[in-house]
């Protein structure tokens, strides 16, 4: 391509299906690497081909088991750095530990910054991720950061719900997600509503108020991730109580911890659109409400643009 250097795509073990999809979008194949474990659980990596001077991309979604995935990524980056790769880009479709991006109370860690430091020290010259929990995480890195939007694949799917945009409302599940919801509402030419919620404990949310007109409307709750689905399903119930015609949801990252799949299956949600940044469990794959939109093409295009040194942000205008 433009630089005369070869794109070399390596993948960790976190998401084989997405890795194959990205390789297909790039019209290439995954480069060889041996990734395994010693008897005591230590991660072992061996790069099987020369990477000297080439443009190397490492695809690893930091999904459960999160700590194993992070360590695997760090070991791969270190192996590539010591193999004289020309430029190393860590491609993290899902960036874990992002929710701890500030000290909410004294004597607490900022793990989003800690993970950023680990990735940089391990050898990444650039980082790429999709829908960070908060945009300021980009500032935790001392190397360039490409922040991609899952809206590129989710907005067209949401647009199929109804042709009558006057009867569609994009809903933010909390005050922190208003900017994201506003972006979706503008892209869909839909109105905007906000849910004011209170948390009584971690992963426990109580819906208090719905700000905006949702009566008789098709509501779409947008968020960056679905973890235990407590917030999502309570938000859907609150919208139905206030007269919403039907409720959908869209989120980039289907973490789906604990009771999440059961909650979604028994909720008022008509459909939940997610991406394949995190592979679905067998139970989640059988959930009728969940529909997966692939980000393989999105990541492939972003990788190509980074390689030929053209604008990535123009993809989302």
Q: Per-residue DSSP letters for 246-290?
A: EEEEEEEEE---TTHHHHHHTSSEEEEEEETTSPPPHHHHT-TTE
- Report the Cα–Cα distance between both ends of the chain, in Å, rounded: 24
Choosing from 5, 87, 157, 197, which is the catalytic residue?
Answer: 197
Question: What is the distance between the alpha carbons of residues 197 and 248, in angstroms, rounded to a whole number?
Answer: 19
Question: What is the distance between the alpha carbons of residues 254 and 226, in angstroms, rounded to a whole number?
Answer: 5
Query: Known catalytic residue: 197?
Result: yes
- Cα Rg for the chain, rounded, in angstroms? 20
H-state helical runs in the chain = 16-25, 66-81, 111-122, 151-159, 178-188, 230-241, 260-265, 282-285, 296-308
Print burial letters for 53-63: b (CB count within 10 Å at least 16), e (below 16): ebbbbbbbbbb
Residue that is written with structure tokens 């492939």 in the block: 300
> Residue 18 corresponds to which tokens in the numbers above?
């997405």
Print burial letters for 273-308: b (CB count within 10 Å at least 16), e (below 16): bbbbbbbbeeebeebebbebbbbbebbbbbbbbbbe
Question: What is the distance between the alpha carbons of residues 190 and 173, in angstroms, rounded to a whole number?
Answer: 16
H-state helical runs in 193-259 = 230-241
The 10 Å Cβ neighbour count of residue 32 is 10
User: Is residue 271 within 8 Å of residue 293, measured between CB atoms?
Assistant: no
Q: How many Cα atoms are found within 13 Å in the side-chain-facing hemisphere of 178?
A: 10
Give the catalytic positions in this structure.
197
């Amino acid at each position: 391509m433009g630089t005369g250097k070869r794109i070399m795509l390596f993948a960790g073990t976190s998401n084989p299906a997405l890795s194959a999809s990205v390789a297909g979008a790039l019209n290439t194949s995954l480069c060889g690497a041996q990734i395994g474990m010693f008897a005591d659980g230590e991660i072992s990596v061996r790069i099987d081909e020369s990477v000297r001077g080439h443009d190397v991309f490492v695809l690893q979604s930091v999904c459960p088991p999160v700590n194993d995935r992070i360590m695997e990524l760090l070991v791969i980056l270190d192996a590539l750095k010591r193999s004289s790769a020309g430029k190393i880009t860590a491609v993290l479709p899902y960036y874990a530990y992002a929710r701890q991006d500030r000290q909410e109370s004294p004597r607490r860690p900022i793990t989003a910054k800690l993970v950023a430091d680990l990735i940089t020290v391990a050898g990444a010259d650039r980082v790429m991720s999709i829908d960070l929990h908060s945009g300021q995480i980009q500032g935790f890195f001392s190397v360039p950061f490409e922040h991609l939007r899952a809206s590129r694949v989710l907005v067209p799917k949401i647009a199929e719900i109804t042709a009558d945009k006057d009867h569609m409302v994009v809903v933010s599940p909390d005050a922190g997600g208003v900017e994201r919801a506003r972006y979706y509402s503008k892209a869909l030419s839909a109105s905007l509503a906000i849910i004011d919620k209170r948390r009584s404990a971690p992963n426990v949310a109580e819906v208090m108020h719905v700000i905006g007109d949702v009566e008789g409307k098709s509501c779409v709750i947008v968020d960056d991730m679905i973890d235990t689905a407590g917030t999502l399903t309570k938000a859907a119930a609150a919208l139905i109580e206030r007269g919403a015609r039907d409720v959908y949801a869209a989120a980039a990252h289907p973490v789906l911890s604990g009771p999440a799949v059961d909650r979604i299956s028994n909720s008022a949600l008509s459909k939940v659109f997610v991406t394949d940044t995190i592979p679905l469990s067998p139970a989640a794959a059988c959930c009728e409400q969940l529909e997966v939109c692939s980000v393989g093409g999105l990541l492939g295009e972003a990788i190509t643009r980074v390689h030929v040194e053209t604008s990535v942000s123009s993809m989302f205008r």
